[in-house]
Amino acid sequence: MMDDKISIPRNLAKRLERVTRKAGVTPSVLVRTAPTNQLDYQEWFLKSVDEGVADLDAGRVFTTRQVLAALDKQPHNVADISARRRLDPYCIVYRVKPTAVQIVRVLHQTRKYFN
């Protein structure tokens, strides 16, 4: 059985108070649901990474040059070009389909995804 009491740093307690006040829930509700929400996210994320790796292993990949060529064929504006530049710290797993580029996974370079 787990202890129902936890200690949190003061700055985290202030954040908890601010968020729960704005969300209209009590701190205890948020603290009880946070582990479930985080575990749900981690399970989804790890499954997504596994699916992306399976796509890579199966050869369902395209080079950056192929994707950019496909994107160049699509109508775009300056906002689209600048959005691509802001994606620099990310590894994007994608598929090029006849009528669209399908983003399969987006991974950030500072995260450790594999052992």
34 with 65, same domain: the answer is no
Judged against a pLDDT cut of 50, whether residue 83 lies above it is answered with no
Q: Give the residue from 33, 59, 85 where a domain finishes.
A: 59
The tokens for 54 are 């399976």
- Structural domains counted in the chain: 2
Is 50 a domain residue?
A: yes
Question: What is the rounded distance in angstroms from the CA atom of residue 39 to the CA atom of residue 32?
Answer: 12
Question: What is the rounded distance in angstroms from the CA atom of residue 34 to the CA atom of residue 29?
Answer: 8
100 with 52, same domain: the answer is no
Report, as an integer, the average pLDDT of 48-69. 82
Burial class (CB in 10 A: 0-12, 13-18, 19+), 52: buried
66 with 115, same domain: the answer is yes
49 with 67, same domain: the answer is no
Residue-level pLDDT at 62:
78
pTM: 0.51
Q: Give me the phi and psi of 94, to 5 degrees please.
A: -145, 165
DSSP state of 102: E
| Residue bearing the bigger pLDDT, 90 or 54 | 54
Is 2 a domain residue?
A: no
Is 65 a domain residue?
A: yes
54 with 98, same domain: the answer is no
Q: Give the residue from 20, 37, 59 where a domain finishes.
A: 59
| Residue bearing the bigger pLDDT, 89 or 16 | 16
Residue range(s) defining the domain that contains residue 93? 61-115
68 with 114, same domain: the answer is yes
Is 1 a domain residue?
A: no
66 with 104, same domain: the answer is yes
Closest CA to 83 of 106, 54, 61: 106
